[in-house]
Chain A
Amino acid sequence: MITELEKKIIRALQEGLPLVSKPYGVIAERIGITEEKLINTIKDMRTRGLIRRFGAAVRHQDLGFTANAMIAWKVPASFVDRAGELFSGNPAVSHCYERSTSGDWQYNLFTMVHGKSPLECHEVAGEMSRISGLSDYLVLFSTGELKKESMKYFLE
């Protein structure tokens, strides 16, 4: 359950932490609670996993990871868990999900791979293929970014 106070904190935090000496004090005053209450509630939300990570979201394209590929794998149901574990162990893999299939799309395991070049992403895909024995996969590079924003929750 998420309390009304927590929703207020989420709305405030997603506007970004102010760049002043006592940012929590400023937010706490805006919400109408003490700074201590705010810090403790944030800590609690982090412990409960509502906040997955507290800190900066950075644009990694600007930091030398210029190629990102979505590699989609066709994996037999009985092997999905094993493949997911194997792929997750690879440091170049940032995200790994099993997803539903639909109609003419039958690739069910998705991995996001970040590299310094498209070639590096292809090499990672090849290595993942060798390690898993899976050979039916697609390496889909992004050819354009149409939108990239942080979600704003509880605005309605």
Chain B
Amino acid sequence: MVLDNLDRNLLNIIQSDFPLTTEPYKTLAEALGTSEDEVLDRLSRLIEDMTIRRLGGIFDSRKLGYTGTLCAMKVPPDEVEFAAGVVNSYPGVTHNYLRDHDYNMWFTLLARDKGEISRITGEIRKKTGIDDIISLPAVKLFKIRVNFDLTEG
């Protein structure tokens, strides 16, 4: 979809500074020089067409007591759909991508503890019959940036 300047400015603000005021949409409207109804209309359109995946909190999984890992799996090309079905059935799998490498399926897995991670990867091995799964937990985080500057686009 085509974003106009107001959409872009709105998205830029709400990616990092969503107002914590009684009437946040009115606060946004005042900052952008428009009306609350206009802001609500825009947001509902941006949510509907999935430009906005979620409006709310982005949480720090570790601080919530969860542990995470990145897993990679060597899946034969004709078994991708079946393996994806198995992997994606776990709610802790939030991202799953195909990539051009022998390790062709890459997914992130969040769980309450390391034991649950090994239980789930064990189950995936058993259900798919694929033994080549590696788990690469983070040792050190250098950078996470998830907002994108849209004002120049």
Contacts and interface: CB of A to CB of B under 8 A. Distances in A.
B140 A147 contact: no
Interface residues of B, number: 74
A100 to B, nearest CB: 5
B94 A56 contact: no
Interface string A87-118: 11000011111111111010010100010000
Contact of B137 (A17, A64, A99): A99
A80 B11 CA distance: 35
Contacts of A153: 59, 61, 64, 66
A146 B96 CA distance: 5
Contacts of B147: 53, 58
Contacts of B21: 39
B139 to A, nearest CB: 4
Nearest to B85: A146
B54 to A, nearest CB: 5
A112 B110 CA distance: 19
A138 interface: yes
Question: Main secondary structure on chain B at its contact with chain A?
Answer: mixed
Given A63-B148, A143-B98, A147-B94, A50 B60 contact: yes
From B40, B47, B59, residue with most partner A Cβ within 10 Å:
B59
Interface of B: 1, 3, 11, 14-18, 20-26, 36, 40, 43-44, 47, 50-61, 63-66, 70, 72, 84, 87-88, 91-101, 103, 105-107, 110, 134-148, 150, 153
27 contacts: A10-B59, A14-B54, A17-B56, A21-B26, A21-B36, A22-B22, A23-B24, A39-B20, A50-B64, A53-B15, A55-B18, A56-B18, A57-B53, A58-B51, A59-B52, A63-B3, A63-B51, A63-B148, A70-B99, A85-B142, A93-B143, A98-B142, A105-B72, A114-B148, A146-B107, A151-B94, A153-B61
Question: Which 3 pairs of residues, A with B, have the shortest CB-CB distance?
Answer: A55-B18, A84-B142, A144-B98
Interface of A: 2, 10, 13-17, 19, 21-25, 35, 39, 42-43, 45, 48-60, 62-65, 70, 80-81, 84-85, 87-88, 93-103, 105, 108, 110, 114, 138, 140-155
